[in-house]
A and B are shown apart, each in its own frame.
Chain A
Amino acid sequence: MNINLTLIGQSIAFLFFIWFSYAFVWKAIRAAMDEREKQIADGLEAADRAGRDLELAQEKASKHLKEAKTEAAGIIESANKRANQIVDEAKEQARTEADRIKTAAQAEVEQEVNRAKEQLRSQVATLALAGAEKVLEASVDEAKHKDMLDKLAAQL
């Protein structure tokens, strides 16, 4: 229980160790720990941000998808419309063509009829004359009866 120089020796050692741990231990360790804490906090924040970004991106994607769907529907609708239009146009054209063909055919038929009539008309005199000759058993003067026969032919 003697109090002696050990007291002072211990004080000096104590102050030295305090200084040593201040200069070479505490600062470096604390700095590294603070740095790591910051890194972890940053990492967590980044993860948080990434999560939010993902959510945002998903929202955007679904919006895009919706837009695309709407657009596609519009395109299909307009295509359908166009197709209908084309079909209608084609029908219209066909009808017109058919009408034209029909008209042309009718005109031809009429022409043919007229031609046949003309032919008939030109031959009716001969036929009538031959018939009359047959009836009368006599020759009929063609020159004498020409007017009458032409009149007959015109009536046909």
Chain B
Amino acid sequence: MAGETLTATSYIQHHLTNLTYGKLPEGYERHNADGSVDVLSQDTWTLAHTSQEASDMGFMAIHLDSMFWSIFLGAVFVLVFARVAKRIHTGVPRGMQNFVEMAVDFIDKQVKDSFHHKNAMIAPMALTIFVWILLMNTMDLVPVDWLPHLATIISGDPHFFFKVVPTTDPNVTLGMAFTVFGLMIYFTIAKKGFMGFVKELTLHPFHAEKWYINLILIPINFALETISWISKPISLGLRLFGNLYAGEMIFILIATMFSAGLVLGLFAGVLQWAWAVFHILVIVLQAFVFMVLTIVYMAMAHQVEEEDQFH
């Protein structure tokens, strides 16, 4: 933190900016902390020093902190589970195996409840989604300043951006949601053929016996179905992002109270604890919701019977 220049607004702003590595265009004016201005003579790949720079980088940028934590936590998930899977035995399970089997059993039950088709990919996908998102969300329970502050100490840069909760980054949640969306389209086409996919978009929900009425209905159906399809990944991704972002925001707001004297500081401690307890619910619930909706979307993509009535 930048000592005397620290205000609540800049503190919050700092906490909401990702560590962005991206391309700044030629001729870009970089404002340094001391007020001087550098003009770039060519396109430059660099770390953003301000949130303004981060947003000016546009699409050609990557959030290093989000990617690091999401891949790190994903690696924790697969390594722990793969280690158990490698040593698994049919005897009495102990320790980690117990936990892993419980998770697998829970996911398996959820998948069997709503997915009645034959696809060996769905259950592992649900497991990945649930455990991974749960781990990423859980980063929210680490007090908001610990890891970012550690990062500034290690990097030696007091303005070093470091967001530790990947699911508060819309890129992460929407990235997963659009991947789910892509798999949905893929399985729909794989199960029903390309024409089946087109029919699903055009002959649904309105359908008439006479072909000329259908001709009028097709554009309406297409508009409605397109919206309904597109809204799925967007709502899936933004729901997770919104919940976690709001939670993180409240943690940050509570954290600003720590510097406002002993009484308010203690009060903030109590608040932070209470919100963390409440947030545990949000963390698990959002991971669960994302997983269940993914399973449901996959089941919809595999549903061939429903499509049959449009022949």
* Chain A residues close to B by CB (< 8 Å): 1-11, 13-15, 17-18, 20-22, 24-30, 32-33, 35-36, 39
Contact = CB atoms under 8 A, between A and B. Distances in A.
A7 B91 CA distance: 43
A29 B62 contact: no
B240 to A, nearest CB: 12
Q: Which 7 A-B pairs have the closest CB atoms?
A: A10-B175, A6-B171, A28-B85, A26-B124, A22-B124, A32-B88, A4-B61
Nearest to A30: B104
Contacts of A4: 20, 22, 57-63, 171
A3 B89 CA distance: 45
Nearest to B78: A20
Interface of B: 18, 20, 22, 54-55, 57-63, 66-67, 70-71, 74, 77-78, 81-82, 84-86, 88-91, 100-101, 104-105, 108, 120-121, 123-125, 127-128, 132, 166, 169-172, 174-176, 178-179, 182
Contacts, number: 134
Contacts of A22: 120-121, 124-125
A6 B101 contact: no
Given A4-B62, A36-B90, A11 B176 contact: yes
Given A2-B57, A39-B90, A26 B174 contact: no
Contacts of B62: 4-6, 9
Contact of A3 (B59, B67, B70, B84): B59
Given A6-B66, A33-B104, A14 B176 contact: yes
Contacts of A7: 171, 174-175, 178
A5 B85 contact: no
Contact of B71 (A8, A13, A15, A30): A13
A29 B85 contact: yes
A6 B169 contact: yes
A21 B54 contact: no
A70 B170 CA distance: 90
Contact of A18 (B59, B121, B178): B121
B115 to A, nearest CB: 14
Given A18-B121, A25-B78, A25-B127, A30 B108 contact: yes
Contacts of A29: 81, 84-85, 88, 100-101, 104
Nearest to A5: B62
Nearest to A35: B90
A7 B170 CA distance: 8
A140 B263 CA distance: 185
Given A4-B63, A25-B85, A26-B123, 10 more contacts: A5-B59, A6-B175, A21-B127, A22-B120, A22-B121, A24-B78, A25-B82, A29-B100, A29-B101, A32-B90
